[in-house]
Amino acid sequence: MSHFKYFKKKLFIENTSVLNIAKKIKTPFYLYSGKQIEKNYINFAKIFKHVNPLICFAAKANTNLTIMRMLGKLGSGADVVSGGELLKALKAGIKPSKIVFSGVGKTEDELKLAIKNEILLINVESESEAILINKIGKKINKIISIGFRINPNVDAKTHKKISTGKAENKFGISITNFSSFYKSIEQYKYLKINAVSVHIGSQILSDTPYKKTLDVLSKVINDLNIKLKYVDLGGGFGIKYNKKDKLANLNNYAKLVSDFKKKLNCDIIFEPGRSLVGDTGILVSKIQYIKKGLRKNFIIIDAGMNDFMRTALYDVSHDIVPVIKTDKKSQNSVEFVGPICETTCKFVQYKKYQKIKEGDFVAITNAGAYGSSLSSNYNTKPLIAEVLTSKNNLKIIRKKQDLLKLINS
């Protein structure tokens, strides 16, 4: 989060004081740094420079149209997981030739939409899906470019709720099943297997699972002697949520991928989501009430699990930082909670925190990925505003949802 820094005890985003923004815009709201988005994309591309991959931003991490458009302008494609995300990627100006479509339950309408728009790849996750695509192809007499998402049965060593590459997970197709389908491909005249893809999980902090996955893929591709145009290596690159998080060594991994690419003579696709946008946003919130509890004080902020679901959904903690720092510590332990009527609508607990009062502003850190895109209208709360700093200007990139519209629907 290098574009979020304290200066004279005030939290700044780029060159602007967050306090000044919070005085102008009603809390809670998401606040993103345009510079940080740009920096992350350029940095990722630089690490994998020798691989020269197609980088397809995983839209579900943040589906804000302005952010998708920014990434598109930097050269990014999109990895989408629904017809809605596909339409958003197109609206954001991303070319169909840079869009890949993943997901275990794509409907016939969604597949037709992808085919009509001639996207680069549909990453198929089951035999049944492949057979349906073949049927659609036959009807319109068109050969359709697909990838097969393989489940490599590799443990990504991440949170179990965001692990996707083990045999017990619903994602992808096993190597045995892929092999037998591939051997019967002659039957399916309207399918062209141009790629295999993998995505083993999210917030991965070690390069070991990535290395294992490359080995598994090399073996399958060699055993079946398949000639592929692309290998899509997915996303999952972790970010530093806490000081103790240690990141995977991507430079080492880049070398391995570069060798892998040379051996197979194919192009590489990546699908990073979190690592491009996770540290680019904070959620600015106001302290509504402070309530003394028996063992701790509850700091009730105006953002809830409907606005930011990650802590409730994945049992992870995000630091909440004051917008104005003081040196004074409070005596009691504190827990930051939100207004939603659920016990899991809570964020983080501290043994000691600085002195803080009702009306003060705080920020949930590293909220740029799986923040706004996971938000909901639960408890009939409107979706909150999203704000971007761009070239020293503030831009509202999503207006707060109109409450009247919400209650009438």
Ligand X SMILES: *Cc1c(COP(=O)(O)O)cnc(C)c1O
Catalytic residues, by residue number, are 341
Which residue number, 35 or 199, has a Cβ lying nearer to ligand X? 199
The least CB distance from residue 183 to ligand X, in Å, is 25
Q: Assess 235 for contact with ligand X (CB under 6 A).
A: yes
Q: Assess 272 for contact with ligand X (CB under 6 A).
A: yes
Residues 36, 281: Cα–Cα separation, whole Å: 9
Residues 23, 275: Cα–Cα separation, whole Å: 30
Residue 72 and residue 94 in contact, taking contact as beta carbons nearer than 8 Å: yes
Which residue number, 274 or 381, has a Cβ lying nearer to ligand X? 274
List the one residue from 88, 274, 310, 346 that touches ligand X (CB under 6 A).
274
Residues 252, 78: Cα–Cα separation, whole Å: 25
List the one residue from 72, 137, 172, 234 that touches ligand X (CB under 6 A).
234
Residues 375, 40: Cα–Cα separation, whole Å: 23
The torsion of the CA quartet 163, 281, 320, 399, rounded to 10 degrees, works out to -110
List the one residue from 101, 178, 237, 347 that touches ligand X (CB under 6 A).
237
Residue 364's contacts (CB-CB under 8 Å, 6 or more residues apart) are 282, 283, 285, 303, 308, 318, 319, 320, 347
- Beta strand pairing call for 230-232 and 267-270: parallel
Q: Assess 199 for contact with ligand X (CB under 6 A).
A: yes
List the one residue from 13, 21, 37, 61 that touches ligand X (CB under 6 A).
61
Q: Assess 163 for contact with ligand X (CB under 6 A).
A: no
Q: Assess 230 for contact with ligand X (CB under 6 A).
A: no
Q: Assess 273 for contact with ligand X (CB under 6 A).
A: yes
> What type of residue sits at position 306?
N
Q: Assess 126 for contact with ligand X (CB under 6 A).
A: no
Which residue number, 75 or 293, has a Cβ lying nearer to ligand X? 75
User: What residues between 62 and 101 interact with ligand X by CB under 6 A?
Assistant: 79, 81
**In which residue are the tokens 């938000």 written?**
375
List the one residue from 18, 31, 51, 58 that touches ligand X (CB under 6 A).
58
Q: Assess 124 for contact with ligand X (CB under 6 A).
A: no
Q: Assess 158 for contact with ligand X (CB under 6 A).
A: no
Residues 130, 186: Cα–Cα separation, whole Å: 13
Which residue number, 79 or 360, has a Cβ lying nearer to ligand X? 79
Which residue number, 209 or 273, has a Cβ lying nearer to ligand X? 273
Q: Tokens in use for 21?
A: 């923004």
Residues 276, 36: Cα–Cα separation, whole Å: 9
Query: Which of these ranges, 179-187, 205-213, 250-258, 273-281, lies near ligand X under the rule CB under 6 A?
Result: 273-281
Q: How far is CA 216 from the centre of its chain?
A: 25
**Binding site residues, ligand X, CB under 6 A:** 58, 60-61, 79, 81, 102, 199, 202, 234-237, 271-275, 369
